[in-house]
Structure formats: structure tokens, C-alpha cells
Amino acid sequence: MPQTSKDPVALRSIIVLLGGPGSGKGTHGQALAAALGYEHLSSGEQLRDHIRRATPLGLQAKGLIENGQLVPDDLASELIHGLLAGYSNVRSFVLDGYPRSLAQAKALEQIVAAVGGTVTQALYLAISDDEIVRRLSGRLTCKTCGKTFHESSNPSARAGLCDRCGGELFRRIDDEPATIRRRIAVFHHAIDPLLAFYRETGRLAEVPAEGPVAEVSARVIARAKRGGEGCEGAPVQ
């Protein structure tokens, strides 16, 4: 966990990864952060950690997440503000899982400004609804470390056990079929205004996110390294 700093270091760049459930934000976010030398932050992992520890924030979020609903904007923004302000000696971040709504995107602008940073890019991982269902219906998660596997495309070496830590694998409640359908509906309701916000400010880039994991990660990294070049809504030089 990060150490709290009274004087947060100036953040030169924050890249946000947008995409539907199962689009690979965590996987490709980790690859992108490693390639750029950034810190990777996942709001979903942080929320699940709060749920496991039964913190006040986790107790508020638990039922909503299990039912495929979004965490309220103020709660999600409180989490992100604490994370960004709490890291010391970190200059740049890849942020996945937040923002998920227009209100959160606007809140993020204020949060990063307060710690001396700026959102430089929003990369949208585009996949079809059918692909979301296929991916999530086979996803398994480690109870101990949170690493994810897939029954067909990325199985663990030992059935039911995590390759990283040996923990037990399970299917999250929000990956059950009925919950997946609700999550997709919630996602579509929220994503259009969110994409419009980043498009209008010249920071949105869409990355096709179907295909082999390594190939998609390579696309994400290549797109991020191009910076604002070719972003939707970017001014023509």
C-alpha cells in the first residue's frame, strides 16, 4: 500500500483506460504501465480489497458490485482521491476502472489538478457485447491475490488454483450470466457521455481490444506512445 505524503509529488501524466466489463482494462493497464514506467492503479481491485477487509467503504460498495451496479460517483471519487494523493515519489499513473461516468470524469479533473497532475489520454478498449459475455462467463479470480484466469483462453496450470500464489479460484458474483447482462446495460447507459467528454477535449483514442492478449497490449502501448496524435477531437496542427 502507498505511503501517505503531506506534499504529493507532481503527477506529469495520468492515462485512463475506458471499456466495458471484461474488456481487459486490468491486463492491458498492467502491460501499459510496465512499458511506460508508470504506476498501475485499478479502482476495481482497490474496491474489492476494501470489501475483503470489510471497511466502511467496502461495506457500502459490496451489494452494488455484486448486483452489477456502479458504485456511486462520490464513493468512487473518494477512493481515487485517496489513492492518488497517498502515493509518494510516483510521477505518472495508468488508471483503470475509473472514471465510469461523466460525473466521475469531471471529478477526476479536479482530483488530479489538486495533486498537480493532468489526464493526458483516455484509451477506449472496444469490444462487442458478445465478446464481453464470452469473456466474463469463463472468468475465474483468485480469492487471495485477485489474479484473473479464463477457463478456455487463459486457464491456470492447476485446475482451481492460482498460478501466482496457489490461492483458490472462484467465479465472482458479478460474473454470473444474469449479472453480466445487467453490467452491460449499465455500461452502455454511462459510456456515451463519458466518451463524448474526452472526445471533445481531444484526448480520446479507440483501441480494438479483441484478439490475442499480447497483440491487444501491443496496440494499447503503441497508441499510448503516440500521445495526442490522432486522438478524436484533437486540434489539427
Provide the domain count of the chain.
Answer: 1
The string of pLDDT tens digits covering residues 145-157 is: 888 898 988 899 9
Q: Which listed residue (91, 147, 171, 172) is catalytic? A: 172
Determine the longest span between alpha carbons in the chain, in angstroms: 54
pLDDT at 68: 65
Does residue 177 form part of some domain? Answer: no
**Domain boundaries, position 110:** 13-127+191-225
Residues ≥6 apart with Cβ < 8 Å to 194: 18, 99, 100, 101, 102, 104, 105
Q: Which listed residue (25, 48, 135, 203) is catalytic? A: 25
134 is catalytic: no
What single DSSP character describes residue 173? G
53 is catalytic: no
What single DSSP character describes residue 154? B
2: pLDDT confidence band, cut at 50, 70 and 90?
very low
225: pLDDT confidence band, cut at 50, 70 and 90?
very high
Does residue 184 form part of some domain? Answer: no
219 is catalytic: no
Does residue 199 form part of some domain? Answer: yes
pLDDT at 5: 39
Question: Using only C-alpha atoms, what is the Rg of the chain?
Answer: 17
Give this prediction's pTM.
0.76
Q: Which listed residue (62, 100, 199, 203) is catalytic? A: 100
pLDDT at 105: 95
Strand 13-19 relative to strand 119-126, pairing: parallel
- Residues 62 and 87: their CA atoms lie apart, in Å, by 25
Q: What is the dihedral of CA 19, 21, 26, 31, to 10 degrees?
A: -50
b/e sequence 11-38, b meaning 16+ C-beta within 10 Å: bebbbbbbbbbbbbbbbbbebbbebbeb
Does residue 84 form part of some domain? Answer: yes
25 is catalytic: yes
Q: Which listed residue (183, 199, 203, 223) is catalytic? A: 183
| Range with the poorest average pLDDT among 10-14, 37-41, 43-47, 142-146 | 10-14
Q: Which listed residue (62, 139, 199, 203) is catalytic? A: 139
Mean pLDDT taken over the chain: 85
Q: What is the CATH classification number for the domain harbouring 74?
A: 3.40.50.300
139 is catalytic: yes
pLDDT at 124: 97
pLDDT at 199: 96
235: pLDDT confidence band, cut at 50, 70 and 90?
very low
Residue type, 25: K
Does residue 176 form part of some domain? Answer: no
> Where do we find the cell 489538478?
113
Interior CA angle at 77 toward 22 and 198, to 5°?
65
